[in-house]
Structure 1
């Protein structure tokens, strides 16, 4: 047996000879960013050998000077003797986005209120199906000696008209002690089930009828966001987000699906989303709000189809294999106790229905929140999360497809990328004469990386300033120290020199990063073009475009057009609507009418599989330029480039 020690965590683990170093780190609960899940493609799992030897090979991701200093890739290294391994901060950079953050902002509040108004205008009522009632029970006597539960049932029958009252074993175990501690004055939380029937799910001392809460949750591949809601008034009591802890098993759904097939992979992924991500989020909101988990009696969640499978612990492997069949698109109601979610154990977990293998409940919820289903106009909805999903239609029809955009829009597969969290560079301007950048960082913190909106700005500015050509390749001989090339001839542009903010390393974007992002934006543009062409329509027939997802509030619509991600149409037709999945869950939490509409929307959407659509690959290849191979499709950009 061998010993592996990790610093600065100062954690040691005993392993067998020949074990993979990345897997050893995972066993030791040491986070190392590995977006490619150990396939040796991304190069982000760099660690440093301080003592001992490792069986490894030099990778193209390791520069000569790094190799000489002892840097290796954890994924292609095996333990062959006792070693001490240093985890550089950049190797765990994705953890920067794992911290729980409060969500706030006037813009977000306005979007929520606008979505509520759309439902109200369409005759939908906002009210919860869960009820609370304060009851005063007659204490038992020798003459009135019925059981405690029968006493409660009698009171509800005589005073509230419920002829049949049910509860489950966990509730039954609480009744006797609680009603006596409360001097027989308690508040019951119950769910009416048809004429004269109800089920008790919670009981509290005294009169707490003014306190009733629910949770809306968006399970993103990169980020998870939640809001704690007062079910009486619809007030957002608390909002928070964090990174999805599953990211240690891969940045995208395909790598996570593959990991789920290995050993205890599915169990580990399920544990990562529930116990390492969702429950800490919930407990943080409860603590900040002074609310008990037993007071949370409604729970709505949405995620892409893979995230939905992993959330429930359902084997997902057939999602990635032709003909791409999910185990389910609509799940049954599930008790919180079955998944060990930190809410009232009797709470039903409602998972928003998916449409297909790569169009999930997050898109269904987003379409509900956007109001496309009630519009006379032709609306294009684009979700720029870790996957790129598109919906086009109006009240008469809804067509949808998914693009293989990868996680680039949330910073994945970008060497300096991160999600839109504190420390992320979200806006970039470049001086045309000096090539010096001017950056804006979320939270006014020290820069840690760059998020999706910042990458769009950066690539656009690099194109317009002549730093890169239309293929995304850096131009040589510009006379600036911010452009440099390695021994393999791969160029990079330094956004932040480490000396500027006392960082451990420079923040730079490479030609490989730019190429990854160009392919991601090309997938979106070609997906939209193919979807419209299949309907015999073109970009001129779009009345509005809604952009949703975790790309960040600073998304510059003009720059998105200039790089060829969005069609060259009037900018006032395009707007960013934030986390529409979370909004849709919130609306569903507050309204049974909204839930019925949500399921109608899911059934109404027609899925188009782009991989079998004639001409899609040709469209994609043509869009892998800045802004496009056919510059005439972007007349406004053509004028800028000429100048």
Structure 2
């Protein structure tokens, strides 16, 4: 039953999408007349008759039929029935005594390569009740996704990786269940926003062909499966729906982000960028959408750098360098002693070293040094210098070049220029905390008017929530995925040629970055 609601979805204090609450699972309180010699319908038939006007194709699973008769009699024929939508096929997934319609919960998940976030959602109001996050347990089998794809090439490896991610999700579910004092069985639908590989690993599918030409996944639109199939600790008959992907390197997390941003409904040209293991981007408007991905690699996730770490307490997330004195001012998450540098801190380091004249535009130290001390040993939690090395710089240069080049190729492919972009959406947790000026200074983000740049935050999780609470949003997500033109860059000669020529800060052509060029001129780093 659709509940009209002016529930405005807000990302980063911006109203982006307005939906009608019409969730994937629904609860109905039903009062039935008890059977008699004059009213001798069977238990399941009697219950189905009360729902037939709403759900013409409703099915009752065999293993629920006995429970129907038991609960009807236990509750004096006053029961709450939960039904769920499996892609247009409705199925009863539970029956409870009395009126339980207010206890109606779902789970929206952002399933990342490194971090997994779950949002407990009230399916009556569509609001998030709470969230929990865990590091993806698959990390112990490999920080980078290519290692996991290789391991998943065997049934045994696939099972290991599936068990790891399911265990991560179940830890999140159990934390939320305890915190909000609900039962696991009361979670009656789950939606997941994830990249194509993570969807395969969650569902136990073989991802090995994702990284081999011509880069074909097993499935882009897996639809609904029972949550019990991978082993999620929710109602075992609940639908598990993974948002549809577009190709091997543009997955459901990006589809969810486009949905959450609303860019597919607007006439102005916009670009959506989510930088993680890959640098995925979508360009377009209400008339067309085009997407591609550059292999960003794990350089910005913190763990690959010499003194890198994840974004957790003690991580240096902001760095400023005085160009005159070389003095460093830094900030750490939680204000704790510095233990390492996370992704946003690495980007700051590179940008500040450039603007202070310590490195040149090729990303090389101007003197014979091979590293820069960000935090001296006397101030660090480790008792050792926390440094930013030449190798760190080289890794980030490759990452920024991949993202930078992917956007350049995408624009050229559709006959557009940077100046044509009216809105820039920065998605993901990395995009949320990254300093925009630093990202622009190194050429990771385009040099656009700052008022056009919108931080979306966790748009993958928000897209999953929208699909969870609105069947209209689910149809929109599938429509978006079908409408995107996907450019495969892995075998693109144009991409490789531009990539080789883009390893300068912020770009080979400084005219693409006028505000950065102006800063460098003011500091005497360029000749006018």
Are the equivalent residues in 2 in contact too, given 1:451–1:552 (CA < 8 A)?
Answer: no
Change (3 A) 1:110 1:417: farther
Matches within 5 A, 1:75-474: 110-111=10-11, 114=14, 117-118=16-17, 120=18, 125-136=20-31, 150-151=42-43, 153-157=45-49, 166-172=59-65, 174-175=67-68, 178-179=71-72, 182=75, 185-191=78-84, 199-262=91-154, 264-275=156-167, 277-474=168-365
Specify which structure has the bigger relative contact order, considering alpha-carbon pairs within 8 angstroms and separated by 6 or more residues.
2
Change (3 A) 1:614 1:203: same
> Secondary structure in 2 aligned to 1:550?
helix
Q: May I ask how many residue pairs the two structures share in their alignment? A: 514
Task: Report the Cα offset of residue 255 of structure 1.
Answer: 1.4
Larger mean CA deviation between 530-539 and 433-442 belongs to 433-442
Task: Report the Cα offset of residue 166 of structure 1.
Answer: 3.8
Superimposed CA distance per residue, residues 542-572 of structure 1 (whole angstroms, 9 cap, x where no aligned partner): 1111111231533221211111112223222
Are the equivalent residues in 1 in contact too, given 2:256–2:464 (CA < 8 A)?
Answer: yes
Taking the aligned partners of 2:335 and 2:69, their CA distance within structure 1 comes to 54
> Secondary structure in 2 aligned to 1:232?
coil
Taking the aligned partners of 2:182 and 2:251, their CA distance within structure 1 comes to 31
Are the equivalent residues in 1 in contact too, given 2:43–2:69 (CA < 8 A)?
Answer: no
Are the equivalent residues in 2 in contact too, given 1:420–1:550 (CA < 8 A)?
Answer: no
Task: Report the Cα offset of residue 420 of structure 1.
Answer: 3.1
Q: Aligned to 2:420, which of 541, 547, 553? A: 541
Taking the aligned partners of 1:608 and 1:245, their CA distance within structure 2 comes to 31
Change (3 A) 1:400 1:309: same
Change (3 A) 1:289 1:151: same
Taking the aligned partners of 1:577 and 1:248, their CA distance within structure 2 comes to 29
Task: Report the Cα offset of residue 174 of structure 1.
Answer: 4.1
Are the equivalent residues in 2 in contact too, given 1:555–1:576 (CA < 8 A)?
Answer: no
Task: Report the Cα offset of residue 155 of structure 1.
Answer: 4.6
Aligned to 1:582: 461
Structure 1 gaps, min length 5: 1-107, 478-484, 486-490
Are the equivalent residues in 1 in contact too, given 2:81–2:92 (CA < 8 A)?
Answer: yes
Larger mean CA deviation between 579-588 and 492-501 belongs to 492-501
Change (3 A) 1:528 1:163: closer
Are the equivalent residues in 2 in contact too, given 1:131–1:190 (CA < 8 A)?
Answer: yes
Superimposed CA distance per residue, residues 259-281 of structure 1 (whole angstroms, 9 cap, x where no aligned partner): 21257211111111111x11101
Task: Report the Cα offset of residue 386 of structure 1.
Answer: 1.7
> Secondary structure in 1 aligned to 2:396?
helix
Matches within 5 A, 1:611-622: 611-622=490-501
Task: Report the Cα offset of residue 158 of structure 1.
Answer: 5.5
Structure 2 gaps, min length 5: 1-7, 524-528
Change (3 A) 1:463 1:411: same
Structure-1-length-normalised TM-score: 0.74
Q: Aligned to 2:401, which of 517, 522, 525? A: 522
Taking the aligned partners of 1:274 and 1:553, their CA distance within structure 2 comes to 27
Are the equivalent residues in 2 in contact too, given 1:217–1:224 (CA < 8 A)?
Answer: yes
Superimposed CA distance per residue, residues 297-328 of structure 1 (whole angstroms, 9 cap, x where no aligned partner): 11111211111111111111111111111111
Task: Report the Cα offset of residue 492 of structure 1.
Answer: 2.0
Taking the aligned partners of 2:261 and 2:156, their CA distance within structure 1 comes to 39
Structure-2-length-normalised TM-score: 0.89
Change (3 A) 1:316 1:159: closer
Are the equivalent residues in 1 in contact too, given 2:87–2:224 (CA < 8 A)?
Answer: no
Aligned to 2:512: 633
Taking the aligned partners of 2:57 and 2:467, their CA distance within structure 1 comes to 28
Taking the aligned partners of 1:497 and 1:295, their CA distance within structure 2 comes to 52
Change (3 A) 1:163 1:577: closer
Taking the aligned partners of 1:207 and 1:619, their CA distance within structure 2 comes to 63
Greater Rg over alpha carbons, structure: 1
Task: Report the Cα offset of residue 401 of structure 1.
Answer: 0.5
Superimposed CA distance per residue, residues 449-499 of structure 1 (whole angstroms, 9 cap, x where no aligned partner): 32222211111111112222222223437xxxxxxx6xxxxx222222343
Are the equivalent residues in 1 in contact too, given 2:12–2:456 (CA < 8 A)?
Answer: no
Taking the aligned partners of 2:423 and 2:73, their CA distance within structure 1 comes to 60
Quote the RMSD (CA, aligned, Å).
2.8
Are the equivalent residues in 1 in contact too, given 2:52–2:58 (CA < 8 A)?
Answer: no
Change (3 A) 1:426 1:191: same
Taking the aligned partners of 2:111 and 2:424, their CA distance within structure 1 comes to 24
Q: Aligned to 2:387, which of 503, 508, 529? A: 508
Aligned to 2:5: none
Taking the aligned partners of 2:200 and 2:57, their CA distance within structure 1 comes to 36
